[in-house]
Each structure stands twice: as structure tokens, then as C-alpha cells.
Homo-oligomer: A and B are copies of this chain.
Amino acid sequence: MKVTILGCYAATPRTISNPTSQVLEMSNRLFLIDCGEGTQVQLRKKKIKFSKINHIFISHLHGDHCFGLIGVITTFAMLGRETDLHIYGPKGIKEFILTPLRLSGSFTSYNLYFHELSSSESEIVFEDEKVLVRTIPLKHRVYTNGYLFQEKPKERKLNKEKAEQYNIDKCYYQNIKSGKDIQLDNDTIIPNTELTFEPEPSKSYAFCSDTIYNEDVIPIIKDVEVLYHESTFLEHDLQYTERTMHCTAKQAATIAKKANAKNLIIGHYSTRYGSIEPFKTEAEEIFPNVYLAEDGIEFEF
């Protein structure tokens, strides 16, 4: 599982920082999460193949999370893309994209599918044979969802030596890997645990941005391996969190701790701060495994 941070600052793009966008690689799929202005250039900088992105998840329609989406969509078209592209985001995102497309006399060379969200409950929005994505309803100034990406349970690993000892025909191997016990010709039943090793653990990634401190997300992201949680402010600016509906680094860390997350990446820093190091220091007072998002950085878990 790899997370590439394309941008992780709040508000406006600057010469030294980009608004929110990141790419999650999970089970050989690339998911683009949020798409602030400049995202297509950041994708190019990181040499991420446009053609491998088939699903884009937008948290909310504030500019620093979506003003780059129309550019991504039209550039994909200009490059002759033919593969379907799926956009997940708040109700209104279809109009948000189709209006400039229509007004600019543009069209896409591929099918563009919008999955508009309006539920206040967590719901599954994407599922294939390997990955499942569900929303994490957040509380912000506008309708907002985070997204939880989960690998489905993987196949158990065959203990080939054991299977050969029991003379089990290879045609049963797939059954064994999917967890079944085996009945031998002499009617003995060999329990699956004897024939297999534990599968690789399934990875999970939760993206929570933007949001006020909200413990309602905890049951949804419980035990997640990696939590990306916004932390717009440092503790001495706590008073801004109510009005702006953002979090401090400590609040992000508190969510990580209460959700029993294994790792926490923080980002969406307000551009008012000279250094982001204090975000780490403050978060680590609550939770140990804190990583600072930075534009262009890659995390592998």
C-alpha cells in the first residue's frame, strides 16, 4: 500500500505548496483522492500514469479539494483516454464538472460516471474483487465525506509441503487457499489450518479531511492501518476550529488513538505556519506513530 501526497495544505495554492490531493495505491489499483488546483501537474511531477487512474474520490466541493478536477478530466480527454472514469463526490459534483465542459464546448473521449453522494450514513461506494471503499461522513461547513479503503481478506497461503505429504491432488489447492478443509480418500478430514499459513494481512486506509473533531468516525475507521486526518491548526489556534470546522493536530491524534489506528498521517496545514514540525510534536503527545504529510512525499505501509 502506497500513499503519494500531491498536496496537503489548506486554502490556496502557493509557490511552495499545493492544496489537497493524494494517490492511494492498493492491490494494484490507483485511487485519486481530492483534486485541488494543480493536481494534474503534481501527477506529472510524480510520474503517475494518468491512464491508471480510474476512480477519483472527492471529499467536498471547497476549491482546495476540487478545483483541479475539471483540468484532470479535460486533460485525460485531450490525451485520448478511452477507459471509463468514475467520480465519487457530493451531490452537485456532476453539475460542477458538466457546466464548464458544456460552456467550453468540450467533451470527453471516454465515459464519465458520476456517483453523487448525499447520505449522512457511511455507505459502500465502490467494490471490486479486491478492494472495498466506503464513505466516512464528516462534519464540515459543507457536505463532506472521508473515504475508507479496505483490501478484502486475502487468500490463505498454501503449505505445499503439507499438501504433498497428504498426497492431495493439485486440483484442490484453490479450495485450500480459500479456507476449505480437505477430506482424504480414507475419509480423514484435514483441517485447513494444517494445510495453510495465515494470509497477508489486509491493508486499510482512511482519509478524513476536512472535518471538525468528530468522534462519530471512530467506529467506521476502527483498527485502520493508516489514518490520514486533517490537522489544520496548532493547539494555540484551537479557537479557530469551531468556526472553520477544522481540527488541531492533537484532535487528529485523539481520533487516531480512540480508533486504535496503527499509523497517523496528518496534513491540511493552514498556510499561516512557517514550519509544520510542531504539528508532529503536538500530535505525538497523544499518539505515537505520527507522520507529516508533505507535498510529493510517498508513504509505504
Nearest B residue to A94, CB-CB: B103
A121–B61 alpha-carbon span in the complex (Å): 38
A146 within 8 A of B: no
B contact residues around A106 at 8 Å (CB): 62-63
Q: Smallest distance from the beta carbon of A259 to chain B beta carbons, Å?
A: 28
Tally A residues with Cβ within 8 Å of B.
35
User: Pick the contact of A14 from B37, B41, B70, B96 — CB < 8 Å?
Assistant: B41
Number of copies: 2
Segment of A71-79, A192-200, A273-281 engaged in the interface with chain B: A71-79
A142–B103 alpha-carbon span in the complex (Å): 9
Contact between A40 and B12 (Cβ–Cβ < 8 Å)? yes
Nearest B residue to A271, CB-CB: B78
Contact between A74 and B68 (Cβ–Cβ < 8 Å)? no
Contact between A40 and B63 (Cβ–Cβ < 8 Å)? no
A49 within 8 A of B: no
* Chain A 68-107 interface residues, beta-carbon cutoff 8 Å to B: 68, 70-71, 74-75, 78-79, 92-93, 95-96, 99-100, 103-106
Contact between B68 and A37 (Cβ–Cβ < 8 Å)? yes
Q: Smallest distance from the beta carbon of A61 to chain B beta carbons, Å?
A: 4
A44 within 8 A of B: yes
A44, A79, A103, A106: most-surrounded residue (chain B CB, <10 A): A103
Given A12-B71, A14-B41, A14-B44, 13 more pairs with CB closer than 8 A: A12-B40, A15-B41, A15-B44, A15-B45, A37-B37, A61-B105, A62-B106, A63-B70, A63-B104, A67-B70, A96-B100, A100-B100, A105-B141
Q: Which 4 A-B pairs have the closest CB atoms?
A: A61-B104, A99-B99, A12-B75, A92-B103
